């Protein structure tokens, strides 16, 4: 004799928490990539122009 048994499982998921956790992770990753890109650009400018010319150009851009 065979007996069929139906079982039901429920998972309580807080969708707001999971969504905000995902969005925060994406935001942190994008911020890290932007910071890395800025650092690479600064190092590239230092290597291409030298530190003295970079500082001179920076102050001339600030002061107009």
What are the pLDDT digits (tens) for 21-63?
A: 999 999 999 999 999 999 999 999 999 989 999 899 889 999 9
Q: Quick one: pLDDT at residue 2?
A: 80
Q: Report the half-sphere exposure of 38 (CA within 13 A, side-chain side).
A: 6
Q: Quick one: pLDDT at residue 53?
A: 92
- Residue at 28 is within a domain: yes
pTM above 0.75, yes or no: no
- How many domains would you assign to the chain? 1
- Residue at 30 is within a domain: yes
Q: Which domain does 39 fall in, by range?
A: 16-63
d(CA 58, CA 45): 11
d(CA 38, CA 55): 16
């Amino acid at each position: 004799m065979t007996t069929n048994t139906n079982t039901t499982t429920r998972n309580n998921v807080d969708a707001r928490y999971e969504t905000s956790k995902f969005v925060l992770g994406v935001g942190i990753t994008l911020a890290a990539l932007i910071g890395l890109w800025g650092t690479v650009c600064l190092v590239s400018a230092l290597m291409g122009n030298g530190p003295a010319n970079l500082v001179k150009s920076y102050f001339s851009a600030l002061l107009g």
